[in-house]
Structure 1
Amino acid sequence: MTQKFDIEVGGRLMSFETGNLAPQAGGAVTLRYGDLVLLATATASKTPRQGVDFLPLTVDVAEKAYAAGKMPGGFFKREGRPSSEAILAARLCDRPLRPLFPKNFHNETQIIITILAADEVNPHSTLGIVGASAALAISDIPFDDPVGACIIGYIGGELVVNPTYEELEKSALELTVAGTSDAIMMVEAGAKFVSEEVILEALKLAQEVNGEIVSHIRDIQAEIGKTKWAAPEATDEELAAQAATRERIGNSIVEALNLGGGKEAREEAVKQIMSDAKAELTSGEDAFDALHVQSELYSLEKEAVRQGILEEDRRPDGRNLEDLRPLDSMVGYLPRVHGSSVFQRGETQVLGVLTLASAADAQRLDNLSPTTTKRFMHHYNFPPYSTGEAGRFGFTGRREALLALMDGGVPISAPVAGIAMGLITGENGVAKVLTDIQGAEDHAGDMDFKVAGSRDGITALQMDIKVKGITYEIMSEALEQARNARLQILEHMEQTIAAPRTDLRDGAPRMTTIKVPTDKIGMVIGPGGSNVRGIQEEFGVSVDIQDDGSVTIGGSQTDKVQGAIESIRTMTKGVELGELYKGKVVKIMDFGCFVNLIPGKDGMVHISELSDTRVPDVQSVANEGDELDVMVVNVDPNGRVDLSVRAVIEERSHGDHDRALEEAVGRRRPSNRGGRGGSDRGGRSGGGGGGRFDRGGGGGGGGRDNFDRGGRRDGGFGGGGSDRGGRGGGGGGGRFDRGGDRRDDSDRGGRRDGGFGGGGRRGGGGRRDDFGDGGARPRRRMISRD
């Protein structure tokens, strides 16, 4: 029978449903929050797992692609291994639940959280914890302390319960807290330099919310929960082994820990004591089970460490409770890499190495959150030689490496340091908070609380505990001690390197981001990506373009990056009158050549503008692939561009850019006076035939002969349209036809703009095209005939 239980959390309805899915599981709950739906199940084997002295608990989070309406990736289109986010969500669920199982419960236990529907609004990590807690509560598995979980954000100075993905983008804090009705079980946070006071207020609010969720789960358990199995008790054999082991060890471990000296000497002494005791107790006629003896030896070692701290404030290495281990650090340790550092605290040493790359190398995420890429990736290796042992060489993980970032010249907001805090609790509420815990204290302690931050506030938190919760007061004390330690570490780091280097290391890519108008993005990309590929090939850089107009250019050489930036800026600014360019010749024609100015934009240099002297043939001064210095002398309404080499030469000759531009433009415009005429031109009053692209004299009339006439369409006497005749030429030619010296009688005008004059001996421009030859023959009209 399906039953439904609702509670309001963070202003939204959280619904617990049972009886509709997974009826054979030990406990199953379908949890709904907004349009997010997940199924949490809890199942355990009926008998203990042999040969273990721990809880064999497994938590799996299954992110199904169908939950977001997506197809799985890969060739086979099936779900594969879990994503990193799913693995982290599973660990997040495991950490608050594991300490709440009975001590001697060694049965195989499995929790599976399946995301059935994802709304891409609500994160599922904390809801998985709540669902798993409810499934355990109503199951028959021994688990009597349900937990609640929530996320607290900090937006505009206000704390927000369970912020959405969109709200988290604006939040200065993402604090995940899980806890029982009266104690905190797990904390994890990312923050933007938030003060300890804000963190404590957020913890208070989180525990109020978690208390309400726990109360609701208990009500569900009371109504539909199954009868729990009896919590297992220690057997007579276990009790006998424990007693014999304690008698054999006595105070020997405590004495070994008080020997002083280095960590290695202490650990070797304790290891020898335990090895001798185990060999003695597990052999002979009265031998005990090795597992029971080993478990008790570990318990005695932990008790010895805890006793020294609780009774004498004495730590295994002789430090006071708030003392740091000795610090040492250096940067620039490795050549060729983009950044490197070595940081050592006590006998713990980290080598950090930095690699920079373009946005194109960002990790692509295939998960159920709106985030699709990850640009900052932080990995660590913990090889077996780190502990002086031989063993399997594992895969990568994550650790801090601020000094390597600063050595590599990465611009960071502020230096950040981290510290691990510990806790030892005793009877009657006695609690000792430890600063900078080491291995033995982590193993024997009740809490591992990592705090990272700058001088201005906290940037990250992570807390795991082994007891049934800690109080708000202990958290407050731990945060204060962590702050003091963090400031000491920052002071040491700043002596090594005070700020990020101003220059990147040799070989590191230079990344620069510029903005272009969104309506120019298509121009930067070009047809089929031709423009952006051209920039990448020409300058040897990477170019990443975002929908908001952000363009990130990356390359190992600063001048190449700047060249690409200027190319993009020029492209989006457009070609303007009077601008100078160094362009590459991309096409040769009889009448001139085309020059590429910027990706996607070519301009035309007429033969008469290729030099300040007469050019008999285009290829005598320019060939494909040559680079020419050109000036823009015209941009027509259709975006077609006229260029001039001659104007550049003249500018360099007399040093006056405006004059050179004015003269170049002037060579294109029609004049108000007639030309001189000539025997092969019209009559005395004006124009006569210009060459193919040579324009005739300015506005003069055609010849006296009634059959001589101008071009086909845009005539007028002399040069047509906007084209102006030169000194001795005939009528105007086409778009690119300019005046100049007369060539010969057979030269003809252009297609459109010739007036009377133009063309050959009898005038009349041809009509083939703007850039081709003139007309094949003049047109005649009979006026009278005898």
Structure 2
Amino acid sequence: MFNEVSLSLEIGGRQLTLKTGKIARQSNGAVMVQYGDTILLSTVNRSKSAREGIDFFPLTVDYVEKYYAAGKFPGGFNKREARPSTNATLIARLIDRPIRPMFPEGFHYDVHIVNTTLSYDGVCTPDFMGIVGSSVALTVSDIPFMGPVAGVVVGMIDGEFILNPTPEQLKISELDLSVAGSMDAINMVEAGAKEIDEETMLKAIMFAHDNIKKLCQFQMEFQALVGKEKIEFQAPEVMPIVKNFIDQNGATKLKEAVLTTGKKAREEAVDQLEEVLFEEFVNANFGEEEVPAEVVAEFAKYYHDLMKEQVRDAILYNKHRVDGRATTEIRDLAAEVNVLPIVHGSALFTRGETQALVVATLGTKEDEQLIDGLDEEYFKKFYLHYNFPPYSVGETGRMGAPGRRELGHGSLAERALSYVMPSVEDFPYTVRLVSEITESNGSSSQASICGGSLALMHAGVPIKEHVAGIA
């Protein structure tokens, strides 16, 4: 009844096994990943046809924690898994980031990746397994995936690097480094560390990449056993009538527009030029005739693609950024504390056109946050919440529960500051930071770190050292 195929690899002192052909057989690609006694099911499926008229890749990555995997009951009245936990959302983002760039330009099929933790032994964590499982499922499917990619976690205890450390090892580790990449390069790094030096961090990344190469080779061996033939895909070419007109009449003007100083002024210059060019394009090619909708969409897409290309080339090859700064220059900085009269601690940090208003609140043990997941429940004494309202970029929008981006940026800033927080013995208070992004022109998570460090000091929290963040 089943045509199951499996392959194993010894890595990090444990056995990693891939299996396919028995479970989720109707998925385009499905693989069971087992590391120790932790088992993850990764599935991938695509739509039958590409979406028309879109200029983005419709990829969805889900990570699902099943409480039965750890022999636990879900909390709450219904005793059923509901919306993903913050940790599950962060792992989904961790999987998404190295996977998303590995698809051909112009591939507009809907792709849905689902990673489900079926068994969790409390030793082998399923986060990096999700990257490997998603990559394997894509690699053996018929989807044109430019992988494989793989992910690992690196810890460091007593100066020695540890591959894929256990949760217990991470508690005493000086480093918690997640790295993902392909055979040739690294495409995602996320880390927290107890103030280790740059040389050690670089060595840790290279150690990670050495093991990533082994995992990528392992996936290619598995593909040779069970891989499907990839569908033929060619990125659609730009309509010659659109490309030739913009290249001849707008390329030079666009280069001038993108060098306009100031975010709003630059956006207005680029938008105004687009309107003028489009009007000229219509007059030259269509006159009084109605312009087909696909031509209108193609014009807008190629214009904005050319703009991005010009900005990128100016930075890479001319060392010139759109706001006139050199590649090594930081935007103008401004910082102040005590900006709100009643709160326990507050700071306003501004870097160019990015601004974070960060507020610190001190509480008692009753204000600790209960974290419930596949591991044992525990309480957090320090947490940071990040908010990104639409007004921060001068736009309208719906305000609601925090999305994946807000949770991810908040976690990033929280991790950076957590390593300098005082011990419970020295400072028994619960601490909550809230970063309100009031303006944004990039790097708002890092502004949250700078503002958070200031707000903590203003609140009288005896942090071990100042912390700054930069992208």
Query: What's the TM-score once normalised by structure 1's chain length?
Result: 0.52
Q: How does 1:386-535 map to 2 (within 5 A)?
A: 386-396=392-402, 397=406, 398=410, 399-400=448-449, 401-420=452-471
* AA matched with 2:32: T
2:333 counterpart letter in structure 1: L
Partner of 2:275: 275
SS in 2 for 1:244: helix
Match of 2:28 among 11, 26, 29: 26
In structure 2, stretches of 5+ residues that fail to align are 411-447
1: CA distance, partners of 2:316 / 2:37? 50
* Whole-Å separation in 1 of the counterparts to 2:279 and 2:71: 60
Q: Tell whether 2:329 aligns with 1:323.
A: yes
Report the aligned-residue RMSD.
1.7
Distance 1:416 1:72, change over 3 A: same
Of 69, 72, 75, 1:73 maps to: 75
Match of 2:258 in 1: 257
Residue aligning to 2:388 = 382
- The answer as to whether partners of 2:70 and 2:375 remain within 8 angstroms in 1 is no
User: Using the alignment, how far apart are the partners of 1:166 and 1:229 within structure 2?
Assistant: 44
**1:131–1:307: structure 2 CA closer, same or farther, 3 Å change rule?**
closer
Q: Which has the larger radius of gyration?
A: 1
SS of the residue corresponding to residue 344 of structure 1 reads strand
Question: How far 1:372 sits from its partner (Å)?
Answer: 2.5
- Superposed displacement of residue 270, structure 1: 1.5
Letter aligned with residue 22 of structure 1: A
Match of 1:55 in 2: 57
Shift of 1:70: 1.1
Matches within 5 A, 1:325-344: 325-344=331-350
After superposition, the Cα gap between the structure-2 partners of 1:289 and 1:327, relative to the gap in structure 1 and judged at 3 Å, is same
Query: 2-side partners of 1:344 and 1:412: how far apart?
Result: 22
Contact 1:383 1:394 in 2 (8 A): no
State how far apart, in whole Å, the 2-side matches of 1:310 and 1:211 are.
28
Say whether the 8 Å CA contact 1:123–1:369 is kept in structure 2: no
SS in 2 for 1:419: coil
**Structure 2 Cα separation of the partners of residues 75 and 192 of structure 1:** 40
Contact 2:337–2:454 (Cα < 8 Å) also in 1: yes
Deviations 1:61-99 (A, max 9, x none): 110011111112222221101111111111111110111
Structure 1 residues 144, 316: CA separation in 2 closer, same or farther (over 3 Å shift)?
Answer: closer
Give the C-alpha shift of residue 320 in structure 1. 1.3
Give CA deviations for 1:10-32 in whole Å, capped at 9, x if unaligned.
00000101111001100110011
- Give the C-alpha shift of residue 49 in structure 1: 1.4
**Deviation of the 1:281 alpha carbon:** 4.5
The equivalences for 1:615-630 within 5 A come to: none
How far off its partner does 1:313 sit? 2.0
**Cα separation, 1, equivalents of 2:235 and 2:183:** 26
Structure with greater helix share of residues? 2
Give the equivalent residue in structure 2 for 1:116: 118
Residue 351 of structure 1 corresponds to 357
Higher relative contact order (CA 8 A, sep 6+): 2
Q: What is the deviation of 1:191?
A: 0.8
What code does the residue aligned with 1:290 have?
A: V
Q: Distance in 2 between matches of 1:76 and 1:179?
A: 40
Amino acid of the residue matched to residue 121 of structure 2?
A: D
CA distance in 2, matches of 1:390, 1:16: 46
1:360 corresponds in structure 2 to 366
- 2:220 aligned counterpart, secondary structure: helix
**1:491 alignment partner in structure 2:** none
Describe how 1:238-317 pairs up with structure 2 within 5 A. 238-259=239-260, 261-278=261-278, 281=281, 284-285=288-289, 287=292, 289-317=295-323
1:373 to 379, 399, 422: 379
Tell me how far apart the structure 1 counterparts of residues 13 and 84 of structure 2 sit (CA, whole Å). Answer: 31
Specify the SS of the correspondent of 1:88. Answer: helix
Per-residue CA shift, 1:122-173, capped at 9, x if unaligned?
A: 2111001101100111111111310111000011111110000000001010
SS in 2 for 1:251: helix
Amino acid aligned to 1:345? R
Match of 2:186 among 169, 181, 184: 184
From 128, 131, 146, the counterpart of 2:130: 128
Using the alignment, how far apart are the partners of 1:243 and 1:359 within structure 2?
Answer: 66
Helix, strand or coil: the match of 2:81? coil
Identity within the alignment, %: 45
Shift of 1:265: 2.3
Distance in 2 (CA, whole Å) between partners of 1:199 and 1:15 is 29
Task: Give CA deviations for 1:699-737 in whole Å, capped at 9, x if unaligned.
Answer: xxxxxxxxxxxxxxxxxxxxxxxxxxxxxxxxxxxxxxx
Following TM superposition, by how much is the alpha carbon of 1:266 offset from its aligned partner in structure 2, in angstroms?
A: 2.6
- Asked if structure 1 preserves the Cα contact closer than 8 Å seen for 2:18 and 2:33, the reply is yes
Residue aligning to 1:471: none
Q: Secondary structure at the match of 1:341?
A: strand
Q: 3-state SS of the aligned residue for 1:216?
A: helix
- What amino acid is the match of 2:253? S
8 Å contact from structure 1 (residues 253, 270) kept in 2: yes
Deviation of the 1:371 alpha carbon: 5.1
Query: How big is the shift at 1:245?
Result: 3.1
What secondary structure, in the 3-state scheme, does the structure 2 residue paired with 1:377 have? strand
Query: Partner residue of 2:440?
Result: none
Matches of 2:279 and 2:381 in 1, distance apart?
53
2:419 aligned partner: none
Q: Following TM superposition, by how much is the alpha carbon of 1:312 offset from its aligned partner in structure 2, in angstroms?
A: 2.8
AA matched with 2:8? D
Distance 1:376 1:278, change over 3 A: farther
Q: Does 1:138 align with 2:140?
A: yes
Report the equivalent of 1:64. Answer: 66
Paired residues of 1:104 and 1:231 also in contact (CA < 8 A):
no
Distance 1:48 1:239, change over 3 A: farther
Distance 1:279 1:5 in 2: 60
Deviations along 1:235-280, one digit per CA (max 9) or x if unpaired, are 5x64543333333423111112345x43332332112112333455
Change in Cα spacing, 1:270 to 1:144, as seen in structure 2 (3 Å) is closer
Q: Per the alignment, do residues 281 and 23 of structure 1 end up closer, same or farther by CA in structure 2, a change over 3 Å counting? A: farther
Contact 1:60 1:90 survives alignment (8 Å): yes
> Which moves more between the two structures, 300-309 or 37-46?
300-309
Report the counterpart of residue 6 of structure 1 in structure 2. 8
For 1:105 and 1:17, the matched residues in 2 are separated by 28
Aligned-partner Cα distance in 2 for 1:307–1:115 = 43
Aligned residues: 418
- Matching residue of 1:468: none
Deviations 1:157-198 (A, max 9, x none): 111100000000010101000110110011111111011111
Q: Distance in 2 between matches of 1:280 and 1:229?
A: 40
Q: Any residues of structure 2 matched to 1:516-665 within 5 Å, and which?
A: none
